[in-house]
Structure 1
Amino acid sequence: MRIGIIGAGALGGTFAALLARAGHDVEVTARGAGLAAIREGGIRLSGGYGDAHATVSAGETLAARPDLVLVCTKAQDAATAISAHAALIDGVPVVVVQNGLDGVATAARLLPRSSCMGLLSIIAANYTEPGTVRVTTPATSYLGRGDGPADAECVEVARVLSGAVPVVAVDGFRGAQWTKLIVNMLNAVPAIVGESVQDVVDDRRLRRVVAASMREAVRVGIARGIRFGSLQGLGDRRLRLFARLPLAIGQVLPWAMRVRMGGVPNLGSTQQSLRRGQPTEIDFLNGAVVREASAAGLDAPVSRALTALVHEVERRGEPLSRERLLADVPV
């Protein structure tokens, strides 16, 4: 199958290398040093899925109409990237591999003739240098759309992708998106202080902040009428219980996630963007919690503070101290 991948960063590069290794004809988009590196030496993948060296076609935009498209840009870049390809890919099945809650709706709005699906990836991968990706935590990814059962097309696309990397079609995709949003609450604190997820969760004070942001996000989802989907050991019943727990006990949730990651330092996608000097997608993570809380007539002070601190790190170009974070976040 001819597969186009828009955005060959950490996840896009991972999928590109694995799909090419599985025998698919892969074309990717990239920019700047990343594009130059892929054109010169391909994509080099190491870590959890083994070593792979994929020679793929690459350009700033896709050159040929694919049979399937994966949109792997950061959430804030999705609309621009999809619009740039609309004439070529409208009518082609599109899988949005993205954090946040809005990716599938954005693609469907810009590509009215395409069948648009979402893919929730829990894979932890570090984009270590242009054209080079290291998978620190392999994991199953979850594909679907909407609130109902997984339809036949989602099942088929999941089957195709699973020939390269584990993907399952899931029911109640919107609820699974919210569960992934809870997982992504691991991103902000490491990005603010410039440390790995593991080091942050190992610190009792910082772990409390992470747990507070997760609990706040779950409570907002409940207020919005969400039934959380099941992925990576999390599901509706467990998250609703977590929402009622005091933080002293609730800290077991980020700790369990940290144990699952293993020992290879996981920077999180937000911190990786900061280290590359790029804007983060924090407005689609903690910022999404703030917006959803407002829609429910609630406040989300923890996520609001974390969002502001990540933007401060973006402006400063350097991390903040642990003490500054602890002083600013109302936990």
Structure 2
Amino acid sequence: MRLAVIGAGALGGTFATLLARAGHHVTVTARGRALDVIREEGIRLSGGFGDTHARPAALERLAETPDLTLVCTKAHDAAAALSFNAAAIAGSPVIVVQNGLDGVTTAARLLPGSDCFGALTLIAAHYEAPGVVRVTTAAPTYLGRGSGAADAATRRWQAVLDAAVPTIALDNFVGAQWTKLIVNMLNALPAITGLSVQEVIDHPGLRRLMTASMREAVRVARARGVRFGQLQGLDDRSLRRFARLPLWAGQRLPLQLRARMGSVPNQGSTLQSLNRGQVTEIDYLNGAIVREAAASGLEAPVSALLTTLVHEVETSGVSLTPDAVLARLPRH
């Protein structure tokens, strides 16, 4: 099949390489030095899915209509990337591989003639240089759309992706987006401190703060009437129970997530963006919790603080020590 991958970062590079290895004709979009490197040297993938070298076609803008397009940009770049490539992909199926809550609705709004799906991936990948990606955690990707059962079109594209990278068709995709958003509460503190996810969870004070952000996010979701989807061993029942636990007991959740990561340091996507000098997608992670809370007349002070601190590090370029982070917590 003719497949396109918009965005050649950590996840885009991973999907493009694995799809090419499975025998598909893959075209990726990139810009600047990344475009030049991929054209000249291809993409080298190492780590959890094995060592692979692929030479996909590389363009700044798609020129032909593919059979399927994967959008692998950061959440804040999705609308611009879709609009930039709309002439080629309008009317053809699109899968948005993205954090946050808005990816599928954004694609459907900008491409009204396209069949739009979402993908939630648990793959952890590190962008080491243009055209060089290392997978630190090999894990499944979940494909779906809407709040109902996975439909026939979802299952068709799941089969295509699954031949290249483990992919599961998912019921209640919207609920699963919220579950993934809870898991993505792992991202802010590594970005603020410069520590790996594992190091953050190993620090007692930071682990408590991370747990508080997760618990707050679950409570906001409940206020919004969300029924959490099943993802990474979590579901509606377990997350509702987690939100009722005292803070000390709730710390089991980040510890469980840490155990699944293994020992290879996981920077998290937000810290990787900072390390590359790029704007982060924090406004679509913790920032989304703040907005959803406001829509229900609530506040989300923990996510508001973490969003502010990530933006401060974006501006200053200087990480905060754990003590400096904990000192910013409001006193009661």
The code of the aligned residue for 2:265 comes to P
| Alignment partner, residue 246 of structure 1 | 246
Q: Does 1:149 align with 2:159?
A: no
1:1-331 matches, cutoff 5 A = 1-330=1-330
The code of the aligned residue for 1:175 comes to G
Please report the TM-score for the alignment, with normalisation by the length of structure 2: 0.98
**C-alpha contact (below 8 Å) 1:42/1:56 kept by paired residues:** yes
Deviation at 1:260, TM superposition (A): 0.3
Aligned residues: 331
Q: Deviations over 1:93-117 (max 9, x none)?
A: 0000000000000000000100000
List gaps (5 residues or longer) in structure 1. none
Q: Deviations over 1:134-168 (max 9, x none)?
A: 11111111111111111100010001000000111
Cα distance in 1 between the residues matched to 2:103 and 2:115:
13
Q: Deviations over 1:249-272 (max 9, x none)?
A: 101100110110000000000000
**C-alpha contact (below 8 Å) 1:213/1:302 kept by paired residues:** yes
Cα distance in 1 between the residues matched to 2:211 and 2:60:
39
The alignment-based identity, stated in percent, is 67
Deviation at 1:329, TM superposition (A): 3.1
Deviation at 1:328, TM superposition (A): 1.6
Deviation at 1:128, TM superposition (A): 1.0
The farther-off stretch of 32-41 and 186-195 is 32-41
| SS in structure 1 of the partner of residue 164 of structure 2 | coil
Cα distance in 2 between the residues matched to 1:227 and 1:139:
24
| SS in structure 2 of the partner of residue 315 of structure 1 | helix
Q: Deviations over 1:45-66 (max 9, x none)?
A: 0000001100010111112210
Cα distance in 2 between the residues matched to 1:319 and 1:33:
27
Task: Give the ranges of 4+ consecutive aligned residues of structure 1 lying more than 2 Å apart after TM superposition.
Answer: none
| SS in structure 2 of the partner of residue 195 of structure 1 | coil
**C-alpha contact (below 8 Å) 1:302/1:330 kept by paired residues:** no
Cα distance in 1 between the residues matched to 2:207 and 2:263:
17
RMSD: 0.8
**C-alpha contact (below 8 Å) 1:306/1:329 kept by paired residues:** no
The code of the aligned residue for 1:206 comes to L
The code of the aligned residue for 1:194 comes to G
